[in-house]
Structure 1
Amino acid sequence: MAATRAPLALTSGDPSGIGPEIAIAAWLLRDKADVPAYYLLGDPALVAARAKAVGVDLQVIETDPSGAAQVFANALPVVPLASSLVDTPGQPDSRNAAGIIEAIDRAVADTFEGRAAAVVTCPIAKKPLYDAGFRFPGHTEYLAHLAEQKTGTAVMPVMMLAGPELRAVPVTIHIALADVPKTLTTEAIIGTIRITARDLQRRFGVTRPRIAVSGLNPHAGESGAMGREDEDIIRPAVEALKAEGIDAFGPLPADTMFHARARAGYDAAICMYHDQALIPAKALAFDETVNVTLGLPFIRTSPDHGTAFDIAGQGIARPDSLIAALKLARQLADMEAKTS
């Protein structure tokens, strides 16, 4: 795995979105915001052209991962891809699919081989990838596939939204709300919490993680009066985890879990569906919250927003969440190096 002070591998995501611009903006703030060294996997000519288009005076240096840290102070290091990319801000193009996927592949490979400390990904759009034949639901599932290919071991990826005031983890993610009760299982909750507790210890440095577990229904079901899922699915998971020595408690009413006093009592909140976790996380700290994939044999972070095609090429995209993702990736890599 990566040496602790290797640079971070940053993918530019969908180049038709704001990925190249926030990568540029983060580099421009490297001193002011104390941004850790990274290299961008992309097209050096496209990055230079995008900088010029948004009025930024930027030196781009084509390099390989081993030379990135040395040039980072004075120029944006870009590691070129074999696949070509087309520069069409605001207009997603399936011709970019090969380059988008190649960047992810190479970032993961660099991390496994020690050339990078962690993977940081700019946002992708799924439809252009699907149009080009990409068969995975999204970034997370593809990263898990790459990890399984490399290690020969099954991987259960877990999404965490990590901000300065809240770490929130959804058990079910990109499915319809109507499908959540049918999909939610005791085993899925147990697996999610085991991975969350383990990575909080290994990568976040939390000695004994306190895990708050939300209910699914209003008032956590009112002892079955408002639905049986809380008693029949969630509570058995919590009891099983307690028996393993994990400090999990719940199910708790979700409407009282996220105020300041409640948050002081736990290190992560486990939620039953996507919006139950992401709404409080983004409401509390939209610009500082980071998407972290737990359960992988390498560190991966990402901004908590999407491609923002509507503002791509205008030079107005904020790099705050990307900077937070870069800084958290560096912190997690350093912590893992100390605890491993």
Structure 2
Amino acid sequence: MTKPLVLTCGEPAGIGPEIAVRAWEALADQMPMLWLGDPRHLPGDVPHEVISDPAQAAEVTPRALPVLAHPFAGSATPGQPDPANAIGVIDVIARAVALVRSGAACALCTAPIHKKALKDGADFAYPGHTEYLAALAGQCEVVMMLASDQLRVVPTTIHIPLADVPNMLTPALLRRTIEITDEGLRRQFGIPKPRLAVAGLNPHAGEGGTMGHQEVDWIAGLVDELRGEGFDLTGPLPADTMFHAAARARYDAAICMYHDQALIPIKTLDFDLGVNVTLGLPFIRTSPDHGTAFDIAGRGIANPSSMIQAMRLAHRMAANQ
């Protein structure tokens, strides 16, 4: 595959630029890539070359990090986000999406952004990366998957208070989450018939209605209905017995009901190597499963493992697709 993977700069004051460099060092002999951002924001000692066309990336990658330059209004002081850079961060994401959708790049890997800085500097109207990417793609329906070599999980509800989960969790939402996950695993992960395990909402999956009623009222019925439509589903299953090794061997992804039910097991099993994948987009997008880490930015100690895994996964997904 000669089309490059495009990396966005993310928040310039965070660890994004330095982990991009470390990832290039680890993967330069494995895939073409380009970094989209302001060259001034890269660590000073990194070998990089500014390119004018993504097609140049394959030739440059083995010797230097190819940079498609995007000038920003401000400088980058590690640990101190500058609202003046907000427009640049937002525009880089949009430009990267355009590159992938045009076919100039094979996939997108995004570095962490800082939502408050974007809100302060540009009145950013989206809760985060995922929602902005969905808007750029035409308001498509998306789901968030966290993936590692040991486990894939999809939370049906995400960044809402736990008290709101029972009302937000509807048959329509769970159905679409399962459908999008199944399609993504087939199309981008190369799994012909994905096996999905559906968690219950309540302890012990409700234990027949004694610990909650949603499983009896509609979750089990929806799982049966989808199974009748050809989906390979099990559940609703007690979440406390879904994530040991023998259980994980029986499914390709776990559909969870809320944020922590999904993220606690994968971060316990594989904290440094988890990857955020957005399914449902008309292009491939991955991201490291961590934030901007302002407290260590610029010190050269940030762990690039999640970024490296995110790039590897995006490259494999592009090959599968």
TM-score after normalising by structure 2: 0.97
Contact 1:290 1:325 in 2 (8 A): yes
User: What is aligned with 1:25?
Assistant: 22
The 2-side partners of 1:213 and 1:227 are apart by 16
How big is each residue's C-alpha offset from its partner over 1:249-307, in whole Å with a ceiling of 9 and x where there is no partner?
Answer: 11100000000000000000000001111111111111221100000000000001111
Partner of 1:279: 264
CA-CA distance at 1:233 after TM superposition: 3.5
Runs of 4+ in 1 over 4 A off after TM superposition: none
> Deviation per CA, 1:176-231, whole angstroms, max 9, x where unpaired?
11111110001111100011111111111111111000001100011111111222
- Determine whether 1:62 maps to 2:42: no
In structure 2, distance between residues paired with 1:167 and 1:18? 25
Q: Which residue of 1 aligns with 2:35?
A: 40
Give secondary structure in 2 for the equivalent of 1:310.
Answer: coil
C-alpha deviation, 1:27, in angstroms: 1.4
SS of residue paired to 2:224: helix
Q: Equivalents in 2 of 1:201, 1:327: separation in Å?
A: 18
Distance 1:180 1:173 in 2: 9
Q: Which amino acid aligns with 1:15?
A: P
Decide which of 139, 145, 159 is 2:135's aligned counterpart: 145
3-state secondary structure, aligned to 2:222: helix
In structure 2, how many angstroms separate the alpha carbons of the residues matched to 1:231 and 1:322?
41
Aligned to 1:7: 4
Amino acid at match of 2:35: L
**Residue ranges of structure 2 left out of the alignment (5+ in a row):** none
Residue 211 of structure 1 aligns to a residue whose secondary structure is strand
1:1-340 counterparts in 2 under 5 A?
Answer: 4-30=1-27, 35-47=30-42, 51-52=43-44, 57-64=45-52, 65-131=54-120, 132-148=122-138, 154-336=139-321
Tell me which amino acid in the other structure corresponds to 2:246. Answer: R
- Percent of aligned positions that are identical: 57
Distance across 1 between alignment mates of 2:8 and 2:217: 42
Amino acid at match of 2:92: A
Equivalent position of 1:151 in the other structure = none
For the Cα contact (< 8 Å) 1:44–1:61, is it kept in 2?
Answer: no
Structure 1 gap segments, 5+ residues each: 149-153
The amino acid across from 1:279 in the alignment is I
Q: What's the secondary structure of 1:309's corresponding residue? A: coil
Cα offsets for 1:144-193 (capped at 9, x unmatched): 00000xxxxx5111100010010000000011111111100011111000
Question: What is the root-mean-square deviation of aligned Cα atoms in Å?
Answer: 1.2
CA shift in 2, pair 1:189/1:66, >3 Å: same
C-alpha distance in 2, partners of 1:78/1:45? 11
Q: Deviations over 1:298-337 (max 9, x none)?
A: 000000111111100100001100000000000000100x
SS in 2 for 1:66: helix
Report how far residue 237 of structure 1 moved. Answer: 2.2
Distance 1:35 1:280 in 2: 30
For residue 45 of structure 1, report the CA deviation from its aligned partner. 2.0
CA distance in 2, matches of 1:195, 1:159: 10
- The answer as to whether partners of 2:76 and 2:82 remain within 8 angstroms in 1 is no
Q: Which secondary structure state, in structure 1, belongs to the residue aligned with residue 119 of structure 2?
A: helix
